[in-house]
Structure 1
């Protein structure tokens, strides 16, 4: 129970310390890699958002994690645990994460929105740096930087994420992406306020050296 201004000030001081500590942890541990950490879940959402229409929910869920299954009425996470909840039409949020591997994390306790957190697609390559050797088939586009942009799109990514990963100016990356898209090697689609680029089947072979 707050008894007056003195109590409010004391509580503010109690909160400020942990808040400052969390901010410092963010600045040191997360912020330097935030563009890369954010890009992977965004690419996962862009990819999986179209999968229900392509393969249905029953096949989508095992793609998120092999331990998930759907029988038309019930979502099961193996191994079974002694917990069940009827969502009653409330819906389920599917949330990719770069921090949950290898586990699937669930949250079903009321009053929170039921959520299933799963490892983001492509997580194994999150910290892999772009290769030092670009396939010659790409160099003949021509342009080594343009080839590097296509080679870096192992997973869908935004212009900003690619620029950060390759150490290029966003305006330069944007120009390369436009040329690659016009050549039929990339496709783009808008997701919220951002545009994600990914290789077309035509762009896969030269990007992988095949």
Structure 2
């Protein structure tokens, strides 16, 4: 059913993008439960099989209704305070959740699953919400380090490239073009953003000057997630572009290898989307210093261009570099 987010004049000034490693951690956990729907992430799921077997995720599963749609407490995936928040920063905010807010949201979540509120774990969480918050944060932290942290440079590079692409759409075509291209389940008309979600009833939310946060995600596919009542900023979590090739390794054309050398050709081939030195090094299994040297040579040859994005420098192929990588 649709969720209509109704914008006022002030809300148009408060549209922002961000990346959330905390949100990605929880979306990755949902992917574990919906593996049959996630062909894109099968390589990651196979790698994680033994790791997951050693994790006790039951405290989090309690508040992630499945298989029927339901409510997960907003404080678990609260909107990040800064565009490029680190996991430690977000985890600290999670640990600082007000126990009263946590209890109300946990009760709402438990009500979605018959018998959950009356289970020993459900009763314990509602009786001591402050302790429950810390337990949920502990489980989230272990899941992050086991499942996502080893791959975060690759994931972050894809998400940063997504935001850069959407920023160009906004600059070239305004909100109409931005929202039309984000996802087929999003539409913009008459100052209202309509999000078609898996919720069982239609909803209308006036943004009241809070604006909206657009949060690209690797693991939310094939869904779009939205909501967040006050005090949280309304948020739309949508699938980022490029996840189809996320777990495949780039292969350089043989002729390109002969021209540039194996490693330099691999760097050029890997730049289907803008990426940083560290992200490329992680993806290609090369030393950052080696990748940095290759990037400098390719840029000096006119095959790459660089620009600063936040605290990082992103590299992208020029038209000449793109033609070489495509074998034209």
Q: Name the TM-score, length of structure 1 as normaliser.
A: 0.84
Show CA shifts across 1:4-61 (max 9, x none). xxxxxx9987666544433332222222222222221112112222221112211121
Q: C-alpha distance in 2, partners of 1:52/1:24?
A: 37
1:67 to 185, 188, 198: 185
Match of 2:310 in 1: 192
Q: C-alpha distance in 2, partners of 1:114/1:17?
A: 26
Gaps (5+ residues) in structure 2?
1-98, 100-127
Indicate the structure whose relative CO is greater, using CA pairs within 8 Å and at least 6 residues apart.
2
What secondary structure sits across from 2:219 in the alignment? coil
Q: Name the TM-score, length of structure 2 as normaliser.
A: 0.56
1:119 aligns with 2:239: yes
1:103 aligns with 2:223: yes
Show CA shifts across 1:65-84 (max 9, x none). 02212225111224796111
Match of 1:139 in 2: 257
Gaps (5+ residues) in structure 1?
2-9
Show CA shifts across 1:108-136 (max 9, x none). 412211111111111111111222xx214
Does structure 1 conserve the Cα–Cα contact (< 8 Å) formed by 2:195 and 2:226?
Answer: no
Does structure 2 conserve the Cα–Cα contact (< 8 Å) formed by 1:85 and 1:108?
Answer: no
1:28 to 146, 152, 156: 146
2:203 to 73, 77, 83: 83
Q: C-alpha distance in 2, partners of 1:190/1:29?
A: 29
Q: What is the CA RMSD across the aligned residues, in angstroms?
A: 2.5
What secondary structure sits across from 1:56 in the alignment? helix
What secondary structure sits across from 2:147 in the alignment? helix
The equivalences for 1:5-16 within 5 A come to none
Number of residue equivalences: 200
Does structure 1 conserve the Cα–Cα contact (< 8 Å) formed by 2:216 and 2:238?
Answer: yes
Q: C-alpha distance in 2, partners of 1:67/1:207?
A: 33
Does structure 1 conserve the Cα–Cα contact (< 8 Å) formed by 2:154 and 2:283?
Answer: yes
Change beyond 3 A, Cα 1:53–1:20: closer
Cα displacement (A) at 1:140? 4.6
Does structure 2 conserve the Cα–Cα contact (< 8 Å) formed by 1:96 and 1:120?
Answer: yes
2:285 to 153, 159, 167: 167
Match of 1:55 in 2: 173
Q: C-alpha distance in 2, partners of 1:49/1:18?
A: 34
What secondary structure sits across from 1:50 in the alignment? helix
Q: C-alpha distance in 1, partners of 2:256/2:158?
A: 24
